[in-house]
Amino acid sequence: MTSNDTDPRASDPHASDDLPAKAAKRRDGLFIRVYFGDGRHLGPGMVDLLETIRTERSILSAARKMGMSYRRAWLLVDEIGRNFHAPVVVTHPGRRGHGTDLTPFGERLIALYREIEDASATASRSAVEELRAALAVAPAREPEKAEG
């Protein structure tokens, strides 16, 4: 088990699908979460996980690469799968290292989400640039002190 297994989000399949803090990177721009009006949603963490599964061909390897527990990754994949009529992933039990592939619908899901992201970014580009130009100078960050 990893230290993320104690993360309360790991046991709650309805928690935010954002990346764990240690895996998060400095982000810039819009982050789209599509809500379907009945409590279900599709967000950037879910799509990032599907893309990583596509690359790694394994839920476990994708979870490790993203810095989340296998349980958290599996719960997200399960949630995505229950949200749609068509399966998103297909697993091949017994295979070591390459036990999961995206289905054609899983690929389409990623493409549709990225299309929504791109269209939203294009539509809001000038407003975001105006907001960015109005930002105050960021204060210098103090270096973290080592515990000891």
Give 47-102 pLDDT, tens digit per residue: 999 999 999 999 999 999 999 999 999 999 999 999 999 999 999 887 666 789 99
pLDDT of residue 148: 57
The three-class DSSP label of residue 2 is coil
- The label of the residue with tokens 């989000």 reads 9
pLDDT of residue 11: 41
Q: Residue 73 is inside which H or E element, if any?
A: helix 70-83
**In the numeric block, which tokens belong to residue 7?**
């993360």
pTM over 0.95, yes/no: no
pLDDT of residue 13: 41
Q: Residue 91 is inside which H or E element, if any?
A: strand 89-91
Mean pLDDT of 16-40: 74
pLDDT of residue 94: 77
Residue among 116, 122, 121, 113 at smallest CA distance from 48: 113
d(CA 18, CA 43): 8
d(CA 58, CA 34): 25
d(CA 109, CA 113): 6
How far, in whole angstroms, is CA 77 from its chain's centroid? 10
